[in-house]
């Protein structure tokens, strides 16, 4: 495992400690001989210095605490890949959360189907006709919202037609040819480039967004077909996880590709400090770079698109149920896929660091008190001298 910075410091101190103690022991023997004491007395003081000093305590202070911290984390489903990640997690100042699959369940559902009545005036089942178009064009997409539409089409027993010339525009929408018509599907900004969207439809989309739903627009050639609203439910533990992080003094930021109104609705439900909306998959890494200028950043995500941001952040935390790429890119993996484990990881890291500091304090404190006593510093004033056997016992007990 990669050594944490504090472990490297402890190793250096331990490396210097032994030659320093030997030097002190030699100086002690010479000093007592010069002071007129016998050779036996002088040697006893030097030997006492050697046997009471405890580099073991300094050497054990950090690795034992890290070992226990890693073990406690593993039992709770929190995997710290390195000792450095265990130490650094507790120093996090800003936590950036991906929305889909992290704050939300990542399993969106179709909530509303709003067809354009004029477009489907020759069709009896307007909603079914819009869903048929949507399912046909989304069938080749791997986006979670596309899956929601396909699930609804399957539930409603809607037939899916074959499309050609399928093309995806990352973060915006997609196009395909269905029954000789060019179909465009995606957000308002994308679809409105090709067709005119009425004020009523725009108002409906705004209404959906305020409710935390994502409105998807569908158009055929130069006419709008309608809107399908999809919503992703927040995980039960997300608001509590965010609250705990904020109580620790950590700023919580949510990243999403959703429009600002939908993002703000989800962000409000989760209780985050800041919402950054309209972030394209390749833009998350740039956002993390900006956040790093404000403090130490931990990025929490689950998808392939989160991997660059997880790598860029000071600490990458992956949801265990996410993609293999995200897990490989992260420093910490939440095996139980619970957002509540993020504050738990921070608490565990801080507790481990506190334990390390306490261990180092007692190791130094013991040596600072024990070595002068063994050297006979108090002998001229109080008559105190230490038997080397008691020094050896004290050394063992100190570890």
Query: Which is the catalytic residue, given 98, 116, 302, 314?
Result: 98
What are the helix and strand counts (H, E) for the chain? 16, 13
Give the Cα separation of 30 and 44 in Å (integer). Answer: 12
Give the Cα separation of 69 and 223 in Å (integer). Answer: 60
CA pseudo-torsion sign 280, 141, 311, 75? positive
Q: What residues have CB less than 8 Å from 16, skipping those under 6 apart?
A: none
Q: What residues have CB less than 8 Å from 185, skipping those under 6 apart?
A: 134, 137, 138, 173, 174, 175, 176, 191, 216, 217, 218, 219
Q: In sequence order, what DSSP letters do the residues of 110-150 get, joined into one string?
A: EEEEEE-TTTTTT-S-HHHHHHHHHHHHHTT--SHHHHHHH
SS (H, E, C) 260-277: HHHHHHHHHHHCCCEEEC
Backbone angles phi, psi at 109, to 5 degrees: -125, 150
Give the Cα separation of 287 and 299 in Å (integer). Answer: 10
Strands (E), the chain: 78-80, 94-98, 109-115, 164-169, 173-178, 181-186, 214-220, 223-231, 251-255, 274-276, 297-301, 315-319, 332-334
Residue 101: left (phi > 0), alpha (psi -120 to 50), or beta? left
Is-catalytic flag, 98? yes
* Residue 258 DSSP label: S
Give the Cα separation of 234 and 103 in Å (integer). Answer: 6
Q: Looking at the annotation, which residues are catalytic?
A: 98
């Amino acid at each position: 495992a990669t050594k944490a910075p504090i472990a490297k410091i402890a190793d250096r101190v331990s490396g210097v400690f032994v030659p320093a103690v030997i030097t002190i022991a030699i100086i002690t023997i010479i000093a007592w001989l010069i002071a007129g004491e016998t050779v036996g007395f002088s040697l006893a003081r030097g030997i006492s210095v050697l046997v009471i000093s405890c580099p073991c305590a300094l050497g054990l202070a950090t690795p034992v605490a890290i070992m226990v911290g890693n073990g406690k984390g593993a039992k709770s489903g929190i995997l710290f890949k390195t000792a450095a990640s265990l130490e650094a997690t507790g120093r996090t100042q800003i936590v950036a959360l991906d929305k889909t699959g992290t704050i939300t369940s990542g399993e969106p559902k179709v909530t509303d189907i709003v067809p354009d009545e004029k477009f489907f005036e020759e069709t009896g089942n307007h909603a079914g006709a819009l869903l048929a178009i949507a399912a046909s064009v989304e069938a080749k997409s791997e986006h979670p919202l596309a899956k929601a539409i396909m699930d609804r089409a399957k539930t409603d027993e809607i037939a899916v037609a074959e499309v050609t010339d399928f093309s995806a525009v990352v973060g915006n929408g997609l196009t395909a040819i269905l029954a000789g018509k060019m179909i465009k599907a995606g957000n308002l900004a994308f679809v409105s480039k090709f067709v005119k969207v009425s004020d009523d439809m725009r108002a409906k989309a705004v209404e959906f967004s305020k409710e935390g739903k994502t409105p998807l627009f569908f158009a055929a050639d130069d006419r709008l077909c309608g809107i399908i609203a999809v919503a992703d439910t927040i995980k039960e533990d997300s608001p509590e996880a965010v609250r705990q992080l904020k109580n620790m003094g950590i700023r919580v930021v949510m990243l999403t590709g959703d429009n600002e109104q939908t993002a703000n609705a989800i962000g409000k439900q989760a209780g985050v400090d800041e919402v950054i909306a309209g972030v394209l998959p390749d833009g998350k890494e740039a956002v993390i770079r900006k956040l790093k200028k404000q403090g130490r950043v931990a990025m929490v995500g689950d998808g392939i698109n989160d991997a660059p941001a997880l790598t860029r952040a000071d600490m990458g935390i992956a949801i265990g149920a996410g993609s293999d790429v995200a897990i490989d890119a992260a420093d910490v993996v939440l095996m139980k896929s619970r957002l509540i484990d993020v504050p738990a990881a921070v608490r565990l890291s801080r507790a481990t660091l506190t334990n390390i500091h306490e261990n180092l304090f007692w190791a130094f404190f013991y040596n600072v008190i024990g070595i002068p006593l063994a050297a006979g510093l108090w002998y001229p004033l109080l008559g105190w001298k230490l038997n080397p056997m008691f020094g050896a016992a004290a050394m063992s007990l100190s570890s």
